[in-house]
Amino acid sequence: MIMALLVMIFLAILLGLVLGYSAIKFKVDGDPMVARIDAILPQTQCGQCGYPGCKPYATAIAKGEADINQCPPGGDAGAKALAELMGVEFKPLNEEHGIQKPKSVALIDELTCIGCTLCIQACPVDAILGAAKQMHTIIASECTGCELCLPPCPVDCITMEPVLENSESWKWKYPIYNIQKAQKA
């Protein structure tokens, strides 16, 4: 009886040590769930979800504070992927946060630009180039189309231009064909 108790206590201490050691040794920095949610989000950094960027929104979803359907650039497809990851029911995009628009990039009318640098400060991905009292321009390849540069512009010289298909970005379409009733032999 005492022997059995001793063995159990010994085992408990040993396993406790092993668990304690591995908790320190194999500690995961940050929440892996946040990173997985963040990987699904489109990284537009537009803040339409009500959070200051994709990562904060991902953190909020992981904590259960935010819903999965608050990301307009991700659209229904993004909400579906998030629902699958989180194991919850799919909800269509909540239109309070905005609607999904075709991918656009900002364009500065360089004749109107006064060089105030306000848009540079607003850009979440440093995709605007310029200096005080110098003309500004958008680095189109880095622009996520978040529209955050539009409100601060005092002269309204920024417009959003939809990205058009060219011969490089062109995709083969889903095949469409007519299905007919087979004739009797």
We find the least distance from the C-beta atom of residue 6 to other proteins, in angstroms, to be 53
Closer to other proteins by Cβ: residue 47 or 98: 47
Closer to other proteins by Cβ: residue 4 or 168: 168
We find the least distance from the C-beta atom of residue 184 to other proteins, in angstroms, to be 14
We find the least distance from the C-beta atom of residue 4 to other proteins, in angstroms, to be 52
Interface with other proteins by CB under 8 A: which residues? 38, 41-45, 53-55, 124-127, 142, 144, 165-175, 177-180, 182
CB distance 125 to 110 below 8 Å: no
Closer to other proteins by Cβ: residue 50 or 96: 50
Closer to other proteins by Cβ: residue 154 or 169: 169
We find the least distance from the C-beta atom of residue 53 to other proteins, in angstroms, to be 6
